[in-house]
């Protein structure tokens, strides 16, 4: 059985959910074929962790995009300079999150 190594650290957080789900499926299939109970349990546990991580990334990406849209609307309606600066700072933070998650697409190319 040859499965790709998984690092659930920061680099995995930058992967797209589709890739994580694909890896999760590989681990689930491997667990079904495994005869040793302990290895089967570990493979299933890894599959679940990958699927949960994919869900979390999707939720975070959705929230980030919603925040960006909301901050843009707020910025277009705000006349107060102090409030505009605060909203601009929040908008910058959300854009940085979005750019950081897109960097994961480049990381994907290195996966088998």
| The model's pTM | 0.59
| In the chain, where the domains are located | 10-107
The DSSP secondary-structure symbol of 97 reads H
Q: Tens digit of pLDDT for each residue in 17-65?
A: 899 999 999 999 999 999 999 999 999 999 999 999 999 988 888 888 8
* Rounded Cα–Cα distance for residues 72 and 84 (Å): 10
Quick one: tokens of 29? 């299939």
Q: pLDDT digit string (tens) for 57-90?
A: 888 888 888 888 888 888 888 788 998 899 899 8
d(CA 3, CA 40): 13
């Amino acid at each position: 059985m040859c499965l790709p190594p998984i690092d659930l650290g920061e680099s995995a957080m930058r992967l797209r959910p589709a890739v994580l789900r694909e890896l999760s499926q590989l681990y689930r299939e491997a667990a079904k074929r495994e005869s040793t109970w302990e290895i089967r349990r570990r493979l299933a546990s890894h599959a679940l962790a990958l699927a949960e991580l994919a869900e979390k990334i999707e939720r975070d990406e959705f929230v980030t995009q919603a925040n960006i849209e909301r901050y843009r609307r707020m910025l277009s309606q705000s006349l107060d300079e102090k409030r505009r600066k605060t909203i601009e700072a929040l908008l910058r933070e959300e854009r940085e999150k979005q750019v950081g998650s897109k960097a994961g697409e480049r990381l994907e190319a290195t996966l088998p």
